[in-house]
Amino acid sequence: MSIYKACDIRGVYGEELNEATAEAIGGAIAARVAGRDLVLGADLRPSSSPLKWALVRGLVSGGAQVVDIGVVPTPVLYDAKDRLGTYAAVMVTASHNPPQYNGFKLMFGERPVTPEDVDWIARNAGRPYSRQGGSYRTAEALAPYAEALIHTHGGLTRRRVVADAGNGAMWWLAPMVLGRTGLQVEPLYCLPDGTFPNRHPNPAVAAHLVDLQAASARMGAWGAAYDGDGDRVIFVDERGCVLPADRTFALLVEPALVDQPGARVVYDLKSSQVVPEAVERAGGVPLEERSGHAFIKARMLDEDAAWGGEISGHYFFGELGRDDALYATLMLARLLDERNLSLAEAMQGVPSYPITPDLRLPCAAEVADAILADLDAAFAERPRSHLDGVKVLFPEGWALARRSVTEPVITLRFEARTQAALDEIREKVLAASAALRRLAREAGW
C-alpha cells in the first residue's frame, strides 16, 4: 500500500519509508509552503531522528524556514505553531502505530491537511528543487505549553491518578503537568523508549491497557493512557475498567454545554448514540462526521464548533482550535472535583448501549463497493448517511459498513439500545447482501 494516506504520510521504516524518501518529501513540502516558515517536531521512535534530519535537508534546500522544537508530543507542536505564528507544521511520527512504522503529520495554514494536500506532495516528492533562502533554527516549546496548562488548570484536588505514557512522547510532560496542577501522580511506563517495550502505543485497544487496569484497581486511582505521540488519551476508572472514548466524551461535553446553548459539537460516525443524546440534552447541536483527525478538525472549523470527539481518543476544543489529550485529562479532573465524585461514580450517569467493535472482513475493493451498493439499495426507505461508506439508521440503533482505503477489508459496526435489537439489525444487514453473507461465513460468523 502507498505511504500517502488520506490525512498523513506513514509506512514501515526501511521498507516503505527511508531517509531518501524523507528528503524528497521535505523538498515537496518546501515547495508547498513556498518559502514560508514551519515548525518541526518528532516523537521518540528510533527512526524519527534520522528521518527528521533527512526531512530538514529537503526542507532547507527547498527554501523553507524551519523552526525545530525537538522531541515533543504532537499537542505541543500545534501549540507551538500558534505561539510562534508559523505557516505550517510537520510532526515526524507514526502516532499509535507499532515502532517499525514512521511518517509525517502535516498542517498548512489554519486548516488540517487534506487528501488533496497529501496527493500534491506525493506527486511532487523527488522533483528537482533549487529554491534559495532556506533556514534552520531551534525554539523552546515544552515549557510555555506546560506553564499555560498549569496556569489554566491549577488547584485541583489531590486525587490519585495513574499516568501511563506507554514509554511515548508524554513520558515526562504528562506526569509533571498533572502533578503541578495538584494531582497525586503515579507514573506508569514513563521512561522514554520509542520501541514501546511495555505496551502497544495504541491505547484505544483495551487489551493494551491490562497493566494500567491492574494499577488503577490496586491503587483505587483513575488512569490516563496516552498514545505514542501523545495526542490521544483513553481513561480507566478506579475499578480498572477501560472507558470507551465516546462515553467519556459524553460525560465531559454535557456539563460544558450548559452555558453554551446552541453550541455545535462534532463527533465521528463510529461513536455511540450516547454522544448525540448527551449533546442534545445539554441544548447543543450534534454534528456527525467521518472518522479521522483531519476530518473532525476541518468540520469543527467550518461549523465554529465548541467541542469535537473521536472514538480513537482525540478530544477537540473550540477554545484551543485543536485537539489536546493532556488538556482533556485536566478537564476530566476538574469535572470530578466539581462533582466530588470518583470517575467510576461519574460514569454511572452515562448510558451504555450494546455496541460492537469494528468487525473487519478481508474483501477486495470491488467486492466491498458492491456490498455497499447492496446495502444502500436494500435500505433505501430508511434514513442513511454516506459520509464514509453506508450508515443505516433503525428505530433502535444503527449499522455502518465502510471500505478501508489502506487495506483490502470491509469494516462493519453495529449499535442498538438492547442486545436483541443489535442482533436483529445485524441479521437484517447480512440478509441484504449475498456477498456479505459469504464473507461472514468465511470469517466464521
Instruction: Tell me the three cell numbers of residue 28.
Output: 515537496
Across 61-95, b (16+ Cβ under 10 Å) vs e yields bbbbbbbbbebbbbbbbbbbbebbebbbbbbbbbb
Identity of the residue numbered 438: R
Q: Identify which of 106, 98, 100, 97 has the alpha carbon closest to the alpha carbon of residue 125.
A: 106
Rounded to an integer, what distance in angstroms lies between the CA atom of residue 221 and that of residue 130?
A: 56
| Cα radius of gyration (the chain) | 22
What DSSP state is assigned to residue 445?
A: -
Tell me if 36 sits within 8 A of 65, measured CB to CB. yes
Please say if 433 is a catalytic residue: no
Rounded to an integer, what distance in angstroms lies between the CA atom of residue 313 and that of residue 252?
A: 13
- Determine which one of 48, 95, 216, 312 is catalytic: 95
Please say if 10 is a catalytic residue: yes
- Determine which one of 10, 45, 247, 264 is catalytic: 10
Rounded to an integer, what distance in angstroms lies between the CA atom of residue 445 and that of residue 131?
A: 58
Residue 358 buriedness (CB in 10 A; 0-12 / 13-18 / 19+)? middle
Q: Please give the sequence-ordered ranges of beta strands (E in DSSP) within 19-60, or none if there are none.
A: 37-42
Residue 338 buriedness (CB in 10 A; 0-12 / 13-18 / 19+)? exposed
229 by DSSP, 3-state: which? Answer: coil
- Determine which one of 96, 232, 314, 426 is catalytic: 314
Q: Identify which of 32, 200, 198 has the alpha carbon closest to the alpha carbon of residue 101.
A: 200
Question: To which residue does cell 514501546 refer?
Answer: 196
Residue 381 buriedness (CB in 10 A; 0-12 / 13-18 / 19+)? exposed
Tell me if 421 sits within 8 A of 428, measured CB to CB. no
Please say if 314 is a catalytic residue: yes
Give catalytic residue positions.
Answer: 10, 95, 314
